[in-house]
Amino acid sequence: MDIQDLTQRMHEFVKEKGWYEEDSPRPQALRNLAISLCLEAGEVLEHFQWDGEVENDSALAGELADVALYLLQLASLANIDLEEAILEKLEKNHRRDW
């Protein structure tokens, strides 16, 4: 499965939940998705809050998946080819001095 397949599966899930409908209680606007992405990233941090050791790999995996799903959706709805953006950023970073 590639990034396009994952994006399609994510869109199917969101459509099934009715979250793309105009009267959805969870409007899938770019702003809302960006906020949700940050909130989920914060939940990743909770796994490292006190001692830096991951006590529940499965729970961390679930939070990482939430972050990835919001990222895929945000990129897709913003008409950004995430795969291309990642490759371009990697190339740019290779040319940087750290």
Location of structure tokens 């709805």: 77
The predicted structure's pLDDT at residue 3: 95
Asked if 37 and 70 touch (Cβ cutoff 8 Å), the reply is yes
Give CA–CA dist 9/16, Å, rounded: 11
- Looking at the structure of the chain, the number of domains it has is 1
Provide the token pair at 95.
């040319």
- Tell me the residue range of the domain where 39 lies: 3-95
Burial (CB < 10 A; 0-12, 13-18, 19+), residue 38, is: exposed
pTM given for the model:
0.92
For the cut 90, the answer to whether the pLDDT of residue 98 exceeds it is no
pLDDT in tens, 40-97: 999 999 999 888 889 999 999 999 999 999 999 999 999 999 999 999 999 999 999 9
Give CA–CA dist 72/78, Å, rounded: 10
Q: What CATH code is carried by the domain that includes residue 79? A: 1.10.287.1080
Rg of the chain, C-alpha, whole Å: 16
